[in-house]
């Protein structure tokens, strides 16, 4: 069987240099891997050629979690190079080795040498929510307020997908390895996937729209008011409350839809100003949100986060915010306003995941016992009302529905979606395929063959 060398290939654009760590393998020496498998990764640093000790500015906030993953073009038996891994911190810190295009990671024994070609390089970057949250145990691990992956080869990145969802959307986008790579490894075109989690602030349509419209003056007002009112000096305040406050302020003062990002490819450094598609979820639309009593901005938080919060945090929420209950009509108006205010309404596709609308835990023989509106007390009725609202919105405004409800019903909700929100691995894969199918059918750049 032919044995082909696997090398790093060129990466550093003009005026830049790339540092790297040793190679960390994701497969065993001698393991048979398939085309599209991510077999190894390393941490990298991007520096100006004339200032090699300083991170290139577009990537400064992601400097400690900037990585390159290596993907097979053809299947075969992978053999590790003798000097590919140094172990210890040399395999973790991008301080000691220079990215040399001819450096050999290992070899690939394959029956398809004509298809093997050079390794594909997938870059990943995580912007830490808290800089001291140091987690170096894999590709794109750690607490990030934004994670993203993109192809470094194949020329300029053609399109960008932004995921702003609750946990079920996040799980489908992240994949079984939790590193976003499964969204891209099957694509023939160079694209980027960006994920913003719901760790603190839940990305409901109302919150996302406010983030987009927030002025620098409003950002300063929010920061000043939080500094004056947040219970940092209370005897009941724990250290975790300080971290919560900082993470919340960071989320409130960013706008994932409008903030630009840069990608590094073999062709150079490229700026991406807006996403070509945005994925959101009805699960990220709680019935109750909180509106600041004086500044008017909205907090959307998961109920379990509020229940687990300290007395100091819950007291702050009660004192500074007014609860606002919403029905499906209110949520529709939030989506309509968001669509109107997108940076490029005609060029940005919006995909929204609907909800599972039936439950094996409900065994009502009659709804006559419930006072109207029934959706306030019966979860499955509420989900049906929301899904109907989303259907009408799609018909009127042309958004795409990721039909989680139909997928769960087809696969078996009791097994693959037991609580109506959290999916099995098989269902996550099916939802991911459906998202990719919608992107391709709508001609989103980078996701169309």
Residue-wise pLDDT tens digits, 424-447:
989 999 999 999 999 999 999 999
- CATH code reported for the domain at 205-214+255-287+326-441: 3.40.50
Which residues, other chains included, contact 129 with Cβ-Cβ below 8 Å and sequence gap of 6+?
143, 144, 145, 199, 247, 250
Residues 111 and 74: their CA atoms lie apart, in Å, by 9
Residue where the block lists tokens 């609202």? 389
CB 19 within 8 A of CB 98: yes
Closest-CA residue to 416 (of 402, 434, 431): 431
Q: 422 falls in which pLDDT band (50, 70, 90)?
A: confident
Residues 334 and 390: their CA atoms lie apart, in Å, by 12
Residues 49 and 192: their CA atoms lie apart, in Å, by 26
Q: Which residue would you say has higher pLDDT here, 168 or 273? A: 273
According to DSSP, the residues that pair with 291 across neighbouring strands are: 298, 322
CB 61 within 8 A of CB 127: yes
Which residues, other chains included, contact 239 with Cβ-Cβ below 8 Å and sequence gap of 6+?
none
Q: Which residue would you say has higher pLDDT here, 414 or 90? A: 90
Task: Give me Rg for the CA atoms of the chain.
Answer: 23
Give per-residue pLDDT as tens, 119-177: 999 999 999 998 888 888 899 998 999 999 999 987 899 999 999 988 888 889 988 88
Give per-residue pLDDT as tens, 26-74: 999 999 999 999 999 999 999 988 888 888 889 999 999 999 999 999 9
Q: 251 falls in which pLDDT band (50, 70, 90)?
A: very high
Residue 370 has pLDDT above 70, yes or no: no
Residue 268, pLDDT score: 87
Neighbours of 289 (CB within 10 A): 22
Percentage helix, strand, coil for the chain under 3-state DSSP, each rounded to 5: 35, 25, 45
Residue 294, pLDDT score: 97
Helices (H), 66-155: 113-116
Write the burial class of residue 71 (CB in 10 Å: 0-12 exposed, 13-18 middle, 19+ buried).
buried
Residue 362, pLDDT score: 64
Residue 130, pLDDT score: 85
Residue 346, pLDDT score: 84
Give the residue-averaged pLDDT of 373-392.
Answer: 83
Per the prediction, the chain carries an average pLDDT of 90
Q: Is the dihedral of CA 165, 168, 172, 178 positive or negative?
A: positive
Give the residue-averaged pLDDT of 346-357.
Answer: 93
Angle at CA 152, nearest 5°, toward 147 and 155? 130
Q: 232 falls in which pLDDT band (50, 70, 90)?
A: confident
Write the burial class of residue 411 (CB in 10 Å: 0-12 exposed, 13-18 middle, 19+ buried).
middle
Closest-CA residue to 47 (of 95, 119, 108): 95
**239-256 burial string, b = 16+ CB within 10 Å, else e?**
eebebbbebbbebbbbbb
Q: 378 falls in which pLDDT band (50, 70, 90)?
A: low
Residues 151 and 158: their CA atoms lie apart, in Å, by 10
What token pair was written down for 20? Answer: 């790297």
Residues 142 and 105: their CA atoms lie apart, in Å, by 26
Cis (ω within 30 of 0) for the bond into 133?
no
Residue 69, pLDDT score: 96
Residue 266, pLDDT score: 84
Residue 109, pLDDT score: 94
Residue 381, pLDDT score: 80
Question: Order of strands, edge to edge, in the sheet holding 298-299?
Answer: 298-299, 288-292, 321-325
For the chain, give every residue range classified as CATH 3.40.50: 205-214+255-287+326-441
Residue 117, pLDDT score: 78
Residue 233 has pLDDT above 80, yes or no: no
Residue 275, pLDDT score: 96
Q: 423 falls in which pLDDT band (50, 70, 90)?
A: confident
């Amino acid at each position: 069987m032919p044995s082909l060398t696997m090398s790093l290939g060129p990466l550093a654009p003009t005026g830049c240099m790339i540092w790297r760590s040793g190679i960390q393998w994701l497969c065993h020496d001698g393991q048979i891997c398939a085309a599209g498998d991510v077999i190894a990764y390393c941490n990298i640093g991007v520096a100006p050629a004339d200032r090699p000790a300083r991170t290139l500015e577009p990537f400064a906030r992601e400097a400690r979690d900037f990585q390159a993953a290596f993907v097979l073009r053809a299947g075969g038996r992978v053999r590790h190079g003798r000097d590919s891994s140094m172990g210890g911190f040399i395999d973790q810190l991008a301080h000691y080795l220079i990215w040399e295009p001819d450096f050999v990671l290992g070899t690939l024994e394959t029956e398809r040498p004509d298809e093997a070609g050079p390794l594909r390089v997938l870059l990943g970057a995580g912007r830490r929510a808290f800089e001291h949250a140091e987690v170096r145990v894999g590709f794109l691990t750690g607490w990030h307020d934004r994670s993203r992956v993109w192809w470094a080869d194949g020329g300029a990145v053609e399109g960008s997908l932004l995921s702003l969802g609750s946990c079920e959307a996040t799980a489908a986008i992240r994949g079984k390895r939790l590193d976003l790579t499964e969204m891209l490894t099957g694509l023939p075109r160079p694209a980027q996937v960006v994920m913003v989690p719901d760790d603190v602030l839940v990305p409901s349509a109302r919150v996302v729209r406010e983030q987009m419209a927030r002025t620098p003056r409003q950002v300063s007002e929010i920061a000043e008011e939080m500094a004056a009112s947040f219970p940092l000096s209370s005897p009941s305040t724990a250290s975790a409350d300080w971290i919560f406050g900082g993470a919340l302020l960071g989320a409130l003062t960013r706008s994932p839809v409008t903030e630009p990002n840069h990608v590094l490819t073999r062709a150079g450094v490229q700026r991406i100003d807006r996403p070509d598609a945005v994925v959101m979820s009805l699960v990220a639309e709680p019935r109750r949100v909180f509106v600041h009593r004086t500044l008017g901005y909205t907090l959307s938080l998961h109920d379990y986060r509020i229940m687990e919060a300290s007395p100091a945090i819950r007291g702050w929420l009660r004192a500074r915010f007014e609860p606002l209950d919403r029905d499906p009509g209110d949520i529709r108006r939030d989506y309509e306003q968001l669509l109107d205010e997108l940076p490029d309404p005609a060029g940005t596709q919006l995909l929204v995941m609907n909800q599972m609308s039936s439950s094996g835990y409900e065994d009502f023989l009659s709804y006559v016992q419930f006072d109207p509106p029934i959706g306030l007390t019966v979860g499955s009725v509420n989900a049906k009302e929301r899904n109907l609202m989303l259907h009408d919105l799609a018909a009127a405004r042309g958004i795409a529905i990721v039909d989680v409800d139909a997928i769960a019903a087809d696969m078996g909700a009791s097994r693959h979606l037991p609580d109506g929100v959290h999916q099995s691995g098989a269902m996550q894969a099916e939802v991911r395929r459906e998202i990719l199918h919608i992107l391709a059918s709508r001609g989103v750049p980078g996701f169309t063959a």
